[in-house]
Chains A and B, each alone.
Chain A
Amino acid sequence: MDTDLFSLSWEPLDVQPVIDKVVDRNCGAIATFIGTVREMTHGKKTLKLEYEAYEPMAVKTLAQIGDEVEAKWPDTTVAVTHRLGTLGISDIAVIVAVSSPHRKAAYEANEYTMERIKEMVPIWKKEFWEDGTQWIGDQLETTSYDKEEKP
């Protein structure tokens, strides 16, 4: 797996360079997903976010997800760039681009990639709400660590 396909960036993201990484003469479809910073979550207003990562492991884990995708959907190519640092509302947090000969595999592989990112890539989001800050600790984005059960 080409690790250039998977990267982290402290600078604002641009979609086109990520798409360019997966362009292939034999692909007939490129599905892109752009994750952006949402202002309102269940009535709570986000002012900004901070992302941090265990950087070398995050890149390695993204590449492992890429291997899984190529095994499940042959002839696809995946590229992921995830933003780190401070993001404002509507800033791009993540871009996933998948190319494949036909569109169905591109859609499916793109969704699978995002699900796996949310499960296992060591990247963390800190929410700065109007009324405080919280590390987000699950993928429903509603539960903070404060609610983590005690042993």
Chain B
Amino acid sequence: MNEVLLFARIQDEVGQKSLEADLAGKSIKESKRWVEDNYEVSSLTRTMVAVNEEFAKDDDVIDEGDTVAFIPPVSGG
């Protein structure tokens, strides 16, 4: 299983701070589609994904036990 962390707009839309999901074997791109298909969220096109606190690329593959974070465009500062 994978812990999936949600922030800001995505967290508000889903109504949860985190999810348990089986994303092992999915690419980052596929995992975005999985969230879009299973939850009431607007487009994740501009959303970045971090795996174990490091930014991941669209074709990186998620492993069992990885923590996957969906990072909408940031607005710190």
Contacts and interface: CB of A to CB of B under 8 A. Distances in A.
A60 B50 CA distance: 12
- At the interface, is chain A mostly helix, strand, loop or mixed? mixed
Q: How large is the interface on B (under 10, 10 to 19, 20 to 34, 35 or more residues)?
A: 20 to 34
Contact of A52 (B8, B45, B46): B8
Interface residues of A, number: 34
A57 B75 CA distance: 15
Interface in A92-151: 93-94, 114, 117-126, 135-139, 141, 145, 148-151
A122 B45 contact: no
Contact of B76 (A125, A135, A148): A125
Interface of B: 5, 7-9, 12, 42-43, 45-46, 50, 53, 55, 69, 71-77
